Structures are given as C-alpha cells and as structure tokens.
C-alpha cells in the first residue's frame, strides 16, 4: 500500500520513497566491495526511472524498448541455457575506453533501485551483482551508445536445454567485438 503525504505536491514522492527503501535493502545483500561503490552513487528516481527502464531494459531479438523497439548500432541478442554461459559471453564483449569511462544507468531489476554509475565498473560487476538481482541486470550509457542487459526467463531452449527450465538472454550493443556471434539480428 502506498501512503501519500497529503502535504506533498510531488506525485512521485511515495514511489521515490519506495525506491530509496529498495536501494537500502539491495545494498544489504550486495558483496561489500560492490556495495561500497554503489553507496555513493546517485539513484535515478521517478519519473526518469520508468522512462529509462522502458527505453533500455526491455529487449528481444527485434531490438530494445518496450513500446517502439529500436536496433542500436552493433546490436546482438543471444540466449543461453545457463548463467555461466551468459556471463562468459558478457565477459568476452569489448567496449571502447570512452564507453567504459562514460556515465551510465545500472538497473538490478528486482531491487527497484536504478543507479548512476560508470559503464565499465558496472559492466565488470554484472556477474557479481546478478545473484542478488535474479530476474535481470543491465547497464546502458547515458547517451545509449553502449549497453549490456542480462535477463532470466522460464521456458524451453532446445539449443541449450537446462533441466531447471531457467534460461538467460543477453542483449548488447555498441561493443567493439568479442562474445558470441549472433544469427538472430
């Protein structure tokens, strides 16, 4: 239940309070070395958070974006049967130094929180943060030039069957090579 402050004129105040609470709970679960960095990072609040999530963190073979998917330059989409394979693929991606130094948003999807981070730091931390963000996690530069998003889904993947029926999708764009080659896009 969301309780609004009757004195507040900000329609996002209650949801932003929940986002800050989600951030606090998330950091309690994150490994200390990663939490130390995230503690000092700004949170992305509403309404910007929802707009960014819908723009960059919904994806499929046809591109990224919830309502009007686009295919960014260098876009690739892959599916894997196991998280180890998905994160090995992510580790094989190479990005320009400028992208790795760029400001970005990182979204651990089950935490509610969205963070302003350095792209390279978040990209290197995705595998370590994934166990806390089990439905998915991603990072996209502020200008949208580069991104990596990993998401878990349930279903059958005949090319890489997993008895648990949990599989993993990776979307990446703006990278300078590496990772698996995609036939999907």
Q: What are the pLDDT digits (tens) for 10-59? A: 666 676 677 767 778 888 888 999 999 999 899 998 899 999 999 999 99
CB 69 within 8 A of CB 61: no
Residue 151 scores a pLDDT above 50 = yes
- Please work out, in degrees rounded to the nearest 5, the angle formed at the alpha carbon of residue 153 by the alpha carbons of 150 and 47: 60
What is the dihedral sign for C-alpha 42, 127, 36, 32? positive
The pLDDT-based confidence of 9 (bands split at 50, 70, 90) is low
Q: For residues 159-168, b (16+ Cβ closer than 10 Å) or e, as one string? A: eeebeeeebb
pLDDT value of position 10: 65
Can you tell me the distance from the alpha carbon of 153 to that of 156, in angstroms, rounded to the nearest whole number?
Answer: 9
Report the range of poorest mean pLDDT among 18-22, 119-123, 124-128: 18-22
């Amino acid at each position: 239940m969301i309780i609004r402050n009757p004195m507040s004129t900000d329609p996002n105040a209650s949801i932003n309070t929940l986002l800050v609470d989600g951030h606090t709970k998330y950091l309690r679960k994150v490994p200390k070395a990663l939490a130390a960095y995230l503690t000092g990072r700004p949170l992305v609040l509403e309404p910007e958070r929802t707009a960014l999530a819908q723009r960059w963190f919904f994806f499929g073979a046809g591109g990224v974006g919830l309502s009007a998917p686009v295919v960014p330059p260098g876009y690739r989409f892959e599916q894997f049967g196991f998280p180890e394979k998905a994160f090995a693929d992510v580790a094989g991606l190479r990005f320009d130094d400028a992208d790795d130094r760029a400001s970005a948003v990182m979204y651990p999807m089950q935490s509610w929180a969205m963070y302003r981070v350095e792209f390279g730091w978040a990209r290197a931390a995705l595998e370590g943060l994934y166990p806390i963000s089990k439905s998915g996690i991603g990072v996209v530069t502020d200008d949208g030039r580069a991104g990596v998003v990993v998401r878990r889904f349930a279903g059958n993947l005949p090319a890489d069957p997993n008895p648990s029926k949990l599989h993993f999708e990776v979307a990446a764009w703006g990278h300078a090579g590496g990772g698996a080659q995609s036939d999907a896009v």
